[in-house]
Structures are given as structure tokens and as C-alpha cells.
């Protein structure tokens, strides 16, 4: 790619990376904190955008539309949580079931159409592709999404420091010990799944505004992008993350790096799979070839 084209594409890649970084925070909650493989996000990534766009087209305000998108994502997480806890279905299959069901739900939300457009000229969108250049800094899409990411990080940092948040973290870390301490692990899993998918739906609402439309296939492969952001953030920046908030911001940074590296949409799926495979393999390769056990009888100073 020509260096000038790359430079021109960087602001857009950063804005999209930030939005997907918010989505990756939701993936981080299930993947790292709850230790669950949740595939619901491929469906939720369309649900939030569909709810937000359709409500704004119906005349509702932007804050109400964003709040409803978040609530719709939480309901999707609730469905997955009930499949998993109340019905005993494995987490990965529960997510697949909800994801499949959301395809029809999302079509109904969008009035039976595969996509719906929203024009920044007619509606007061929070972020837009047009807000990348030649706008005041407070309207710039990158600045707005950074504020969103920081606010979400701050709220999650506070929440996971509360008694309920610590119980959710304990549930993912050691469910058996958590149950022995009287913690209702099933309820905590449901709450974690609801929070995760609510954040994913909120990111979807921002993405739909940014690109000016919502599409039924908008969330296809979202889990791969989310996992890539989590893994890249952990491998490249995780060493610098000393607390929970910095770990969340590392995930956002991972998504930005991912979108800067992958600027050719034709190669998106292939490179996504390769990026995830490489970064998943790095810790194992480091342990195998670089973290050699010390020789016996080495004998340090007495």
C-alpha cells in the first residue's frame, strides 16, 4: 500500500479500532474474567446497531437510542446465560443458539430488511465517518470514542471493585471455591454475560452511526476481531498493565493495532485468523524455547 494512502487511512482505522476496542472489552469480560467462550457477540454486534438506528429513524433521541441498544444487548446476554445455567447447555452452544435466534430478531427489528441507513445530515449522530477531519475536536469521532472508552473503563473498574464485581471475578477464577464460599455462580455468570453483551451492543450502536448504516451481517466474525484485540493487547501491552483498568485499555489498544495492521478489507478474514493464531501461539513458544528451566546444581552464592 502507498505510504500516502496508508497515512490517509490511519484516522479512519483508529476510529474503527477504538469502536471495536469497546466491543473487545465486552469480549474480555467473558473470555478473561468469566472464562467462558461466548459466541453471542456475533449476533449482538448487529442487535445494538439495529435498535439504535431504528429508534433514531422513529424519532427517538440519541441518548435513549443508545440506552435501548445497551438494554437489548443485555437481554441477549440474559438469554445465553439462561440457556447455560438454567438449562445446562454448554456455554459455547448457548452462545451459538442465541446468535442464530438473533439473526431473525435483528431482521424483525430492521423491518424485514437486510440493512437500514441513517444519514448524518438528517440525524444528530454522535460519531460519523464525516467527523474524522475538518470538524471541531469535540466532534471528532476519534475524540468522542476515546471518551466513551475511558468512561466505560472507569465504570467497569469501579464495578469490578465492588462486592458483586469481585464475586463475578471469583466465579471465573475458581467456580468451585466460589460455590464453597456461598457465591451463586450461576447468577454471576448471567450478570457477566449480560454486561458483556450490553457493552458489545453499545459498540455496535456506535459503529452503525459511524458507517451510516446497520447490516444484518455486521457482526459476522466479530468474536474473532474481539479475541484478536484481547490477545494482541495482552501480548504487546499486557506487561505494562499493572491494574484492571490498564488491562481494559490494553484491549482497546490491541483493537487499534489490529485495524491499523489490517487495512485491506479483501484480506480481512484471512489476516484475522492468522493474527489470532500467531498471538495465541506466542506464549507457548516463549515457554517452550525462551523460558528454559535453570540447570540443576548451578549453585548460587551462599
Q: What is the mean pLDDT of the chain?
A: 85
Alpha-carbon distances of 33 from 73, 142, 166, rounded to whole Å: 19, 28, 10
- Report DSSP state, residue 234: I
For the segment 27-37, the average pLDDT, to the nearest whole number, is 90
Alpha-carbon distances of 1 from 9, 10, 261, 264, 271, rounded to whole Å: 11, 12, 11, 9, 16
Q: Are 20 and 259 contacting, i.e. CB atoms less than 8 angstroms apart?
A: yes
Over residues 137-157, the pLDDT tens digits come to 888 889 999 999 999 999 999
Higher-scoring residue by pLDDT: 171, 289 = 171
Whether the predicted pLDDT of 294 surpasses 70: no
Over residues 168-223, the pLDDT tens digits come to 999 999 989 989 988 999 999 999 999 999 999 999 999 999 999 999 988 888 88
- pLDDT for 302: 38
Whether the predicted pLDDT of 5 surpasses 60: no
Q: Where are the alpha helices (DSSP H) in the chain?
A: 3-28, 41-57, 62-85, 91-109, 141-159, 163-173, 175-180, 185-211, 222-232, 244-261, 268-285
For the segment 78-96, the average pLDDT, to the nearest whole number, is 94
Q: How confident is the model at residue 299 (pLDDT cuts 50, 70, 90)?
A: very low
Over residues 91-133, the pLDDT tens digits come to 999 999 999 999 999 999 999 999 999 988 888 899 988 888 7
Residue positions counted in the chain: 302
Q: How far is CA 155 from the centre of its chain?
A: 15
Beta-bridge partner residues of 213: 117
Least confident of 22-26, 44-48, 258-262: 258-262
Got the DSSP string for 281-301? HHHHHIIIIISPPPPTT----
- pLDDT for 109: 95
The pTM for the full model equals 0.85
Of 272, 176, 266, 256, the C-alpha closest to 223 is 272
- pLDDT for 27: 92
- pLDDT for 60: 93
Cα dihedral 244, 249, 252, 257 sign: negative
CB atoms within 10 A of CB 251: 30
For the segment 60-69, the average pLDDT, to the nearest whole number, is 95
Domains of the chain, start order: 3-289 (1.10.3470)
- pLDDT for 258: 80
Least confident of 49-63, 139-153, 283-297: 283-297
Which residues lie closer than 8 Å to 288 by C-beta, 6 or more apart?
none
Over residues 230-277, the pLDDT tens digits come to 888 887 776 777 788 888 888 998 888 887 776 555 666 666 677 667
Amino acid at each position: 500500500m502507498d505510504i500516502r494512502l496508508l497515512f490517509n487511512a490511519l484516522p479512519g482505522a483508529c476510529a474503527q479500532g477504538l469502536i471495536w476496542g469497546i466491543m473487545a472489552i465486552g469480549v474480555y469480560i467473558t473470555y478473561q474474567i468469566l472464562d467462558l467462550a461466548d459466541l453471542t457477540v456475533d449476533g449482538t454486534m448487529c442487535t445494538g446497531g439495529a435498535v439504535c438506528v431504528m429508534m433514531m429513524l422513529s424519532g427517538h433521541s440519541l441518548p435513549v437510542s443508545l440506552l435501548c441498544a445497551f438494554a437489548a444487548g443485555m437481554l441477549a446476554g440474559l438469554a445465553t446465560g439462561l440457556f447455560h445455567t438454567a438449562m445446562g447447555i454448554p456455554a459455547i452452544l448457548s452462545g451459538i443458539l442465541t446468535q442464530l435466534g438473533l439473526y431473525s430478531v435483528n431482521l424483525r427489528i430492521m423491518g424485514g430488511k437486510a440493512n437500514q441507513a441513517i444519514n448524518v445530515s438528517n440525524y444528530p449522530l454522535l460519531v460519523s465517518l464525516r467527523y474524522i477531519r475538518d470538524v471541531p475536536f469535540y466532534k471528532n469521532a476519534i475524540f468522542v470514542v476515546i471518551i466513551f472508552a475511558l468512561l466505560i473503563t472507569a465504570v467497569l473498574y469501579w464495578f469490578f471493585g465492588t462486592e458483586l464485581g469481585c464475586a463475578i471475578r471469583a466465579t471465573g477464577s475458581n467456580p468451585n471455591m466460589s460455590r464453597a464460599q456461598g457465591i451463586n455462580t450461576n447468577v454471576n455468570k448471567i450478570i457477566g454475560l449480560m454486561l458483556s453483551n450490553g457493552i458489545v451492543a453499545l459498540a455496535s450502536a456506535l459503529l452503525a452511526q459511524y458507517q451510516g448504516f446497520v447490516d444484518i451481517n455486521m457482526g459476522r466474525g466479530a468474536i474473532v476481531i474481539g479475541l484478536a484485540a484481547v490477545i494482541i493487547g495482552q501480548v504487546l501491552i499486557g506487561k505494562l498493565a499493572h491494574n484492571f483498568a490498564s488491562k481494559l485499555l490494553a484491549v482497546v489498544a490491541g483493537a487499534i493495532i489490529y485495524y491499523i495492521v489490517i487495512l485491506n478489507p479483501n484480506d480481512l478474514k484471512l489476516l484475522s485468523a492468522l493474527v489470532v493464531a500467531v498471538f495465541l501461539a506466542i506464549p507457548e513458544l516463549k515457554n517452550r524455547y525462551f523460558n528454559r528451566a535453570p540447570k540443576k546444581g548451578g549453585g548460587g552464592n551462599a
